[in-house]
Chain A
Amino acid sequence: MLYQLEGSQAIAKAVVLCRPGVVCAYPITPQTHIVEGIGELIRSGDLSEGEFINVESEMAALSVAIGSQATGVRSYTATSSQGLLYMMEAVYNASGMELPIVMTLGNRTIGAPINIWNDHSDAMAARDAGWIMLFAETNQEALDLHIQAFKIAEKMLCPTMICVDGFILTHAYERVDIPFQEEVDEFLPPYVPNIYMDERNPIAVGAMVSPEYFMEVRYLAHRKQTDALEIISLVSDEFKRQFSRDSGGLLRKYHTDNAKTVVIAMGSVSGTIKDVVDELNASGEMFGVVSLVSYRPFPSAALRMVLKNVAKVIVVEKAFALGIGGFLSQEVELALKDIDVRVISVVAGIGGRSITRNLLKECFLKRTHEQITFLGLKEDIAAEKYTSLKLHYLGGMI
């Protein structure tokens, strides 16, 4: 049924439709509306059998979910930014223990300086934590991905993070189609844990593993991640069959078939990019767009298939590693290392800086590119500050 809803409320409804037994809530902007919404739905009886727990920190939020999931109950939490960093030890722990927790990440940058606005720095900080990480382009996709996430996580025994651009999606009202409970129940059966804390069949979870065995544990976790590529596609196909909606999967193509240049991006910025590409193509250019849904596992083979005949790839990325460059562009480059294609990194939207059509258009039409382009950087201020900074650290050396 169609609704005009805030993104966070749509996600809250999707989560409740998945009937989690335990939801842990701790406030952090811009994720807060999601857990507020879930709390209200649980207490108003939409999910009367659910436990909604207000905890004292993000560390506790994910830890409570670890405890409940390990006891055999579908568990959910949400966070953003500093909150993800604060729980990071538990983030790695949850994947190491193969607990299929689902968590929403309302993407926000990381301080200092403190900044509550959107970019993907928080998600990148967790990229190696062994979670499946899926990025939503619209609120409809955010909603759909949450329903798929529980299925993927539980099939793979791997925690799954749905990344939703903070404010841009979480606080945006737009049209969403919310499925009925029976439909979701049909798609997502009740959670049946394979092993769990049970006094009738005592097991120990979380043992100390020595060098004799540890590498195999990590190897298997790696194999599981790469196998998840197939499961993510299958679950997306199944979702499409049942709900007649194309959501999720590994990546989505837009006019890539005859494209000379393909722009790759994750999350909500793909929409703006598609509008720009339409405008450019109308004037004779040949641009295509790939919006990456599955960031972990990274769909290297699928990317190679799409980009094998492309001359140039422009990666628009909302996070970068200081001193080296964009995370996503490096990974795209690695995936395409056997293909003769130029990969260009455009760092955009850092700390909530507006990504406008005009800036993107100008950037896409450039014939030559810097190694990294910082889209919308205030060059004059940056140059002035850089000069004084350099004077400071070079001090007496010049």
Chain B
Amino acid sequence: MKKILSLTLVFTLILAMSVGCSSGNAPSQAGSDGSAHESSPAGSAESSAEPGEKVVLDMLWFADGAETEAMQHIIDDYQALNPNVQINLLEVPYDEMTNKIMMSVVGGEPPALARTTESILSACYDATLDLAEYVDDIDGVLAQFMPSIHNYFVINDKVTALPTDVTANGMIYNKTAFDKAGVTVPATPDDIWTWDEFVTALEKVKADGGVQFGMVIDNPSHRWSTMLYQFGGHFLGEDGPAFNSPETIQALTFTKELFDKEIVPKSTWLGGEDPNNMFRSGQVAVHLSGNWMLTNYRDNIKDFEWGVTYMPKAKNRSSTPGGKQLAAFGGSGVEKEAVDFILYATSQEANAKYCVESLFLSPRLDNAKLDYPFGKEHFEVFANELEHTVPDASFDWGYPDFAGVARTPQNEGMYEMIAGNITPEDHAANMEKVLEELYQ
């Protein structure tokens, strides 16, 4: 038993050493201890052991697919141009991004850079740099990006980030099922369906196309809001919440009917069945999702043909834009370099390369037409949806804290409504109350 005792000792020593070492021997990693923190971005860190030490930028990153590699290529290009800079991609699960950013910032270990979405930014915009303070011609830079998405990163007049891609909600359809049922999809924006026509078409595909369901919609919040905007409703207005409107109630009632007629399966929103998997299984005619789904379906659907078509209209045509941005954080000690990289990564050439490789839509006006290696015709449909998007969409989703505050009550309220426990009017009124708190 002396063995155990001596083992204890040995391990205590090892542990003590590993603690000791790690706090002292990390000269190449800025921000790993207090001293490297204060070091100036010019690379004159006092702890620098080797000459010509690199400036290291940590970038918190999350990914759905191919974009990690694409971003790594952009980083490689940038590092070739700036040999004194090293950028580390630190992958974090999307669900933990906001937490990780918050913890690092509050704990005094802010990352140099982070990939964000509008909902991450709406929680962390306090901690980001104001890019206007680092870029002379900020208005000129902003003017390069689609005006409709400025709301997502210019928050309370602060330029918190710059966009790397923009997403469009849209519809992917099971071509095999549509063909089998003899239903054609609109070929041009001029002959798109109304929602009533669309439902008729879905019913036909459901009956004759060999599918169980007409349609799946990703979620009752962001993705469903596309329908809300098409029906002329919206969540917020300049002066306060605007959810409790006849347009909203019409959209809600229409949605409920889709579920009641079993065009949309209840199991998706209520039972957690994954719409993506359901579409993949070939049991659904249409998936209301967005352009990010293309790579997933390209890689995983082999049993049937699919395509992208225009969403139907009611009062309006509309999509709901989204997207990702790059933000930099104060206190990292490498703010200048971080901002410089953001400008590089969002510049025309680099951004085009990134978007083509990741199969993303570019937020830059001068990258509207890109030469995608796959699904060029799909991207044209998505781009067209974005062009016909109501301004309310980005106003809602760019509003600080909106995404976080609205999600849970919206999801739960929609459930109650579809389950028949409350009426669309009840839900509209309940949500209105939730949104009122947001304005206070």
Report if A and B associate in a common complex: no
Binding site for A on B (CB under 8 A): none
